[in-house]
Structure 1
Amino acid sequence: MRYMMMLRIEENTDMVPSEQLMEDMGKLIEEMTKAGVLLDTGGLRPTSEGTRIQLSGGKLTVIDGPFTEAKEVIGGYAMIDVKSKEEALEWASRFLRIHGDGWEIVSEIRQIEGPND
């Protein structure tokens, strides 16, 4: 079963990952890779560098960032292949826990539809 873990963050904060956090994240990513669970992962650039394309009433509108109305944004993702939803939730929980008490992060976990689900 493939799942997408989307990491929602408050973009306009002073929180910068510490060296320890980056080291711990690297270890977890390595563990997930060795376990054959991690398919892909990455952090996303700020919304100030992004663009939205909206379709409404048959008309396309292109909007360049930043998107000031957005409080929370998707700051990163991981695509995983696991045996169950519970396993997906455990990996997501482990990822969130390594951030410690100072972070405010939400991980939205959703199953990917398709031939491998």
Structure 2
Amino acid sequence: MRVMVIVKATSDSEAGKMPGTELLAAMGNFNEELVKAGVMLAGEGLHPSAKGKRVRFSGKERTVTDGPFAQTNELIAGFWLWQVKSMDEAISWVRRCPNPMEGESEIEIRQVFEAEDFGAEFTPELREQEERLRAQIDEQADKPR
């Protein structure tokens, strides 16, 4: 199963405070363990919401709002995408993670939907389209930008 591991923002991350060398090294070592174990598929930190945009949908209408956004504890400072055998395995890895922020912080784990989760509504034609798109994404990832 794939899971998205979400590092919640803090007032420091939203202020643009960058991690120090010690935390960067600890996270680098943790990421190396994840890669060696075949768990990590992707992982990135995110700029503060002040540099972000939100698009609100209402029927055919689209409204764009500039950051920063309120309620820092609901914002995302970074993420990983992991391939694990179970939610328990994901929890085990998160327990080993260095604290991603100075002081208190929070990490959320969410299971990623797989094709089989969608049932009969995900027709053979839609499955074929999904597989074709994933193959194109893999090809593009191999090309330099």
> Structure 1 pair 87/104, CA: closer, same or farther in 2 (3 Å)?
same
> Structure 1 pair 47/23, CA: closer, same or farther in 2 (3 Å)?
same
TM-score normalized by the length of structure 1: 0.85
Q: Deviations over 1:8-33 (max 9, x none)?
A: 02144586422111111101101100
**Aligned sequence identity (%):** 37
- What residue number does 2:93 align with? 91
TM-score normalized by the length of structure 2: 0.70
Give the CA deviation at 1:70: 2.6
- What residue number does 1:39 align with? 41
Larger RCO (CA under 8 A, 6+ residues apart): 1
Q: Unaligned 5+ residue runs, structure 2? A: 118-145
SS in 2 for 1:66: coil
* Residue correspondence of structure 1 range 1-117 to structure 2 within 5 A: 1-11=1-11, 12=14, 16-67=18-69, 69-72=70-73, 73-95=75-97, 98-99=98-99, 102-115=102-115
SS in 2 for 1:23: helix
Q: Which has the larger radius of gyration?
A: 2
Q: Which is richer in helix?
A: 2
Q: RMSD across aligned C-alpha pairs, in angstroms?
A: 2.3
Distance 2:65 2:104 in 1: 27
Q: Unaligned 5+ residue runs, structure 1? A: none
Q: Deviations over 1:49-77 (max 9, x none)?
A: 1110001254210111122x232210000
Q: Deviations over 1:64-116 (max 9, x none)?
A: 1122x232210000000011110001112222xx2289422111101001138
